[in-house]
Structure 1
Amino acid sequence: MSGVRATARIRAVADGRGGTSLPVLESDGPLALRRTRAGSGGEARVVLVGAMSGPLGGDRFAVETVVGSGARLRVGSAAATIALPGQTKDEARYEVRIDVADGGELHWLPEPLISARGSDLHVVTHADLAPGARLVLREEQVLGRVGEEPGRLTSRLVVRVGGRAVLDQELACGPGAPGGWDGPAVLGDDRAVGQLVLVRPEFENRPVPARILGDGAALMPLAGPAALVTAVAPDGLRLRRLLDDALNRVV
């Protein structure tokens, strides 16, 4: 099997002075990590920079993030990730693995993933949190560039709190995906889909109420200290507006 293999690793720990240090910030190949200016409240900030095009067919990318007790970390990306067809027809894979300790906090806020025509990408995100951890995780997926049919995109998101699954969902879209993904019960005519996962200890005893947040967005409580916002929109710009508005309203 051909393709590029690359793994980026981040480890954030409390520095004992009210801030967060990054003893591990490693990346290779097309994945480059850059630390940016610290945020308020001792938050460390990291940006993932794509040094090459991709992922292409056959590529295997992974990002591993560990947040220790008392640490606060925000991870973003410099630009959208574009899944492209490669010289082979092999599926590309992109795996995100997140581990947040008790008292740790992570904001995982990458730019959108765009599924270009002819691509075939499988994305898997696993987030494991201790009962006292906090998480804001955003996923945005755009099916095709402007005026373009999408590639095939399969996305799975698994979130566990204290070893218990609070969310395990998968969506497949594009050519070869199970029928119905573009029907009225799923995306219809929309070509951008996204979600926010919010994990906060206070949600355990005070779950958020389920409600519609606007045209195309809804908020629902999950089992345990978590909530989920799902949204669909005609394009990535309107999807981001829906998710930003939802986050501001829940906060």
Structure 2
Amino acid sequence: MSVRATARITAVRDGRGATALPVLESGGPLALRRTRAALPGAARVTVVGAMSAPLGGDRLAIEARAGQGARLTVGSAAATVALPGPGAAPARYDIVLNVEEGAELNWLPEQLISAQGSELHMATVVELAPTARMMLREELILGRYGETTGTLLSRLTVRRAGRPILDQQLAYGPGAPGGWDGPAVLGGHRAIGQLLVVDPAFDETGPETGLLGSTAVLTRLAGPAALVTVLAADARELRSVLDRAAEELTAPAG
């Protein structure tokens, strides 16, 4: 039997300059826990998987809102593994993020692993106010150790003040367009990641487009935003490159 569940997070700035969580609503396998934040005045939420999910046929969603002036980081306790289900229907995982004026959201989940035989359609939609800041990390691992990948479709749509910054769709595995694993796309790599940073400060001075390595590139986007895209042999190498990029993109200017 498939699972349908939605988890919800709302972060707001309280009267003492800190960030409160008036809504922290778990759903199905998506258990939400407030954990210690690294920065003063911020809140941190960790998603803890309460059961194996998503399975084929499941419909899961997370909705997160950072209200005006709030500072929120959302992570996960472990990797998410897309697994085959009892039927032929694909699983779906929707993420909806809203960041209001003067707010900051760091969306930093662990890897999503596409297990052999699974099919997952994932969609992330982000709405940003003009003065909002955001860091979003996405890491996709194609197959567990010693197995081939499942089918994975991932779409990321980001809008700032109603105008698009980024709208892209990726497809891997059986049923994906031909050439997805060819030398012009993955070239045999099994770990794919990206880091999107949106910061109003980039209007004045921001990173320049350029290579970060043989299989990593930083692209300056309109918005103001920067996108780092990485291919790697494994999850460890992928995280190392993305962590270095995050440090550089958030380092104080000067």
> Is the aligned partner of 1:227 residue 2:226?
yes
Alignment of 1:1-251 (within 5 A): 3-251=2-250
Q: For 1:53-78, what per-residue CA distance to the aligned partner results, in whole angstroms no more than 9, with x for missing partners?
A: 01000000000000011100000000
1:177 deviates by: 0.6
Report the 3-state secondary structure (helix = DSSP H, G, I; strand = E; otherwise coil) of the residue aligned with 1:42. coil
Contact 2:197–2:249 (8 Å) recurs in 1: no
Amino acid at match of 1:36: T
Contact 1:71–1:105 (8 Å) recurs in 2: yes
Contact 1:173–1:181 (8 Å) recurs in 2: yes
TM-score, normalised to structure 2, is 0.97
* Structure 2 unaligned blocks of 5 or more: none
In the aligned structure 1, how far is the partner of 2:66 from the partner of 2:78? 23
Report the 3-state secondary structure (helix = DSSP H, G, I; strand = E; otherwise coil) of the residue aligned with 2:243. helix
TM-score, normalised to structure 1, is 0.98
In the aligned structure 2, how far is the partner of 1:166 from the partner of 1:208? 16
1:249 deviates by: 1.8
1:213 deviates by: 1.1
In the aligned structure 1, how far is the partner of 2:206 from the partner of 2:34? 34
Amino acid at match of 1:160: R
1:41 deviates by: 2.5
Amino acid at match of 1:162: A
1:179 deviates by: 0.6
Cα RMSD of the aligned pairs, angstroms, is 0.9
In the aligned structure 1, how far is the partner of 2:112 from the partner of 2:37? 26
Contact 1:4–1:58 (8 Å) recurs in 2: yes
Contact 1:119–1:152 (8 Å) recurs in 2: yes
1:154 deviates by: 0.3
Report how many aligned residue pairs link the two structures: 250
Contact 2:8–2:23 (8 Å) recurs in 1: yes
Report the 3-state secondary structure (helix = DSSP H, G, I; strand = E; otherwise coil) of the residue aligned with 2:69. coil
In the aligned structure 1, how far is the partner of 2:212 from the partner of 2:40? 29
* Structure 1 unaligned blocks of 5 or more: none
Instruction: Give identity over the alignment, percent.
Output: 62
Contact 1:18–1:41 (8 Å) recurs in 2: no
